[in-house]
A = this chain, B = another copy of it.
């Protein structure tokens, strides 16, 4: 049963739905100015591209400001509990490979309480698209630091400054065997859309880190990467096959360190060419550490490598077993093993 969809899935619509069709009737309840609005608009704008009918798309989220996302999309959706969306979505995606399953999560939801489910989803390579809204703060609980907050951050729970070293979500994902990892910005709709497109096209778990501004509790966290005056200096836009150049008019280069890592090079150095598709995760990992080496912050697709998906393998195994053993018969199952029969007493009614 598990590999036959439950209901006949309607054909792709003749005239694809528009962004409007993906807007639910619920009032959007984020703070005015929150970066989540821009992401919502971008996602609503992108979804028609999937070429799927609304009923075949599901958004699952955890808890946090960002996790309100599913309410605002007219697809199937679940606003679950804190940190558990990847686990819930795994069950859904494995049991319903015919659906397009998306996870929306925050830096606290995904990396603090939900860290384990995230890394296991990545390792298994379940066919999920995970959008991680990273605002480097806990928004919904009114401003505590998160696992991506910079050390020394003064927040409600760290009035003397936080002491934890933050996660680098891209490094963490790569360490967890991720096949697809990308990063983008809430405010750059075009880039965000291109990354969503790449993630959707990827078979398996795709993690998309979206730098998102929380204008109430952590305003301007990514300003350097957005402001016209500074962004060229601080952002490296990744493109598969292109040399890694950045800076005003692309005057700066990224070069390889003898140790294997990356660092900023001189203008006339030969820039390393970005290869998102190499099976070796080392180049992508090196990219994730570039800012630490004094380099720019890469955005775009770090890694996009196909390996078998978990849900695909489950379905395939199910088919194989069924082909070998035939569909199960409950009567045979119950009556299997060593059985014996107590006959009805002579003359009694047969049943």
Interface residues of A (CB under 8 A from B): 112-116, 119-120, 123-125, 147, 160-161, 163-168, 171-177, 256-262, 275, 278, 280-283, 285-286, 289, 292-293, 307-308, 310, 313-314, 317, 320-321
Whether B163 pairs with A147 at a CB distance below 8 angstroms is: no
In whole angstroms, what is the CA distance A278 to B293 when docked? 12
A314 CB contacts on chain B under 8 angstroms: 163
Q: Within the oligomer, what is the number of copies of this chain? A: 2
A317 CB contacts on chain B under 8 angstroms: 160-161, 163
**Known A-B contacts A116-B115, A123-B167, A171-B175; A289 and B280 likewise in contact (beta carbons under 8 Å):** yes
Partner of A172 from the list B163, B176, B262, B275 (CB cut-off 8 Å) is: B176
A204 to chain B: closest residue by CB: B165
A257 CB contacts on chain B under 8 angstroms: 280, 282
Whether A120 pairs with B124 at a CB distance below 8 angstroms is: no
Whether A165 pairs with B259 at a CB distance below 8 angstroms is: no
Whether B280 pairs with A164 at a CB distance below 8 angstroms is: no
In whole angstroms, what is the CA distance A115 to B86 when docked? 15
A281 to chain B: closest residue by CB: B289
In whole angstroms, what is the CA distance A259 to B167 when docked? 24
Query: What 18 new A-B contacts, CB under 8 Å, besides A116-B116, A259-B275?
Result: A115-B115, A115-B119, A119-B119, A124-B164, A163-B314, A165-B177, A171-B174, A171-B281, A172-B176, A175-B176, A257-B282, A259-B282, A260-B282, A260-B286, A261-B282, A262-B282, A280-B293, A282-B282
